[in-house]
Structure 1
Amino acid sequence: MRHQLATFKLDDRLYGVDVARVQEALKIQAHTPVPHAPRTVAGLVNLRGQVVLMVDLRARLGREPYGPDDEPMMMVVNIDGEPISLLVDAVGDVLELDPDTFGPPPPTLEESLQELVTGVYSMEDELLLSLDVDLAAQV
């Protein structure tokens, strides 16, 4: 059975999460900062009456967080039945991938990604990093 992954870009790398975990993808919305929160918390956003935590995935992966002038996309995922918004550079397509193309993360992968990437899919022209969405959403 082929794996369906919703994809997104972050720092010119292609990532994917199980499409069944994705609620929606949106342009960044007006949000409220959370005082004294870790740098991985970008704020809170109201999505149709529901308050949703925004996780800065750049900061979560050990990179420079998004600045006030950046316009990341929001990939809203379900974590234990609750929506969490992951901020990403760009949202991509849903891809159907053959499980035979899946392998362990390369040993050259940065340490900040080692715990969050469950493996990689070898595609024709690039690698797709499979992200552990539960760990990625932890702040």
Structure 2
Amino acid sequence: MHEDISKNQEVLINNKSVNTKQFSAFYLDNRLYGIEVSRVQEVVRSMTMTPIPLAPDYVRGLINLRGQVATAIGLRELFGFHEQLPDEFINIVCKIDGMLISFQVDEIGDVIEVSEEDFEQTPQTISDNIRRYMIGVYKISNSLLSAIDVDNIIKFLNHKT
């Protein structure tokens, strides 16, 4: 089976082959999340949004990215973090099936490289409204990176709209 090098890298550590992935890390409610770098087109600061009448609260509006329209999805609202909405959001723009989707997050982190050896299934202690959008978690230094499943979010959005 041929591995896609853009998504996975094979690294030799202590003479053992280890598969790694890179995630674009971000924060929601001071919790660390990540989207695979290969899924991210760009990261931009808050932009003017055009509201969509009668849309669910997590569909925050439409933004114009140099002539291309992206649907802005508030991950805070989607995950159920309704308290303390920040004044400004960071947009993580992903191109999925020819559509631009902007996931709005509290703040952006670094690109984090993780080893498949540090992967664990999503803990049952994470609420269902977040767990359904996760691939799992990666142990990194003194924290956990919750890996977001962009495809599950898109499936949910396509069935709700």
TM normalised by structure 2 equals 0.81
* Larger radius of gyration between Structure 1 and Structure 2: 2
Letter in 1 for 2:92: M
Asked if 1:21 is matched to 2:16, the reply is no
Q: What is the RMSD of the two structures over their aligned residues, measured on CA atoms?
A: 1.6
Asked if 1:5 is matched to 2:26, the reply is no
Determine if contact 2:29/2:81 at 8 Å carries over to the other structure. no
Asked if 1:89 is matched to 2:106, the reply is yes
| Closer/same/farther in 2, CA of residues 85 and 66 from structure 1, 3 Å limit | farther
Higher relative contact order (CA 8 A, sep 6+): 1
CA–CA distance in 1 between the matches of 2:84 and 2:89? 8
Offset at residue 43 of structure 1 (A):
0.4
Give CA deviations for 1:99-133 in whole Å, capped at 9, x if unaligned.
10001011111121121111000111110000001
Give CA deviations for 1:6-35 in whole Å, capped at 9, x if unaligned.
110001111111101000111111111111
CA–CA distance in 1 between the matches of 2:43 and 2:149? 18
Determine if contact 1:40/1:65 at 8 Å carries over to the other structure. no
Other structure's SS at 1:59 match: helix
Offset at residue 136 of structure 1 (A):
2.6
2:124 maps to 107
Count of residues paired in the alignment? 138
Moved more, 129-138 or 14-23: 129-138
Offset at residue 64 of structure 1 (A):
1.1
Offset at residue 82 of structure 1 (A):
1.8
| Closer/same/farther in 2, CA of residues 83 and 65 from structure 1, 3 Å limit | farther
Gap runs ≥5 in structure 1: none
Gap runs ≥5 in structure 2: 1-18
Instruction: Indicate which of 145, 148, 151 corresponds to 1:128.
Output: 145
Instruction: Indicate which of 46, 52, 55 corresponds to 2:70.
Output: 52
Offset at residue 81 of structure 1 (A):
2.7
Other structure's SS at 1:2 match: strand
